[in-house]
Chains A and B, each alone.
Chain A
């Protein structure tokens, strides 16, 4: 199984400041055949289901604000919120799609306002 490790577990950021979340996979999630990293990021607010933010490591889902960006390749990935807004308070999860059996998620990173 591909193990996904997120860091930090939580972070507090001032409004308007940058938030950075890291995700590391235990093996590469880069498909050589199409040069795409099968890594997605989700946002989950309290009492709500997860919402897809980014797939292929850096492609924003339709309707996602451009303050959210994803980067990285192979085994190391980052989700960046360039200017934190109050509505961004949530738990963020990374997930690999390289192997669909099983799909695996990171443990989550809780983002709060400082």
Chain B
């Protein structure tokens, strides 16, 4: 199972909106609405910020939103803030009791 494809880096200025993509295949993202996104700050464990493609867990800012179309999922961060600077990983169920993560995107706030 190959990793989902994410851009290595995305940057934006404070207040801007940025969108991170996560491209998979018909066997994973394309078949299952079990796509989730994680934010990871240096030295910390990943934190769930979007689940089932579009849902936010309790306590996660509404500046984070998710979507899915075909084999690609997207995470949009609006009103970019300095604290959003982190690594972001997508995740999908891939069927046959297997799972796959994305390669990760480093978000830089300029």
Answer yes or no: are A and B bound together in one complex: no
Residues of chain A having any CB pair with chain B under 8 Å: none
Residues of chain B having any CB pair with chain A under 8 Å: none
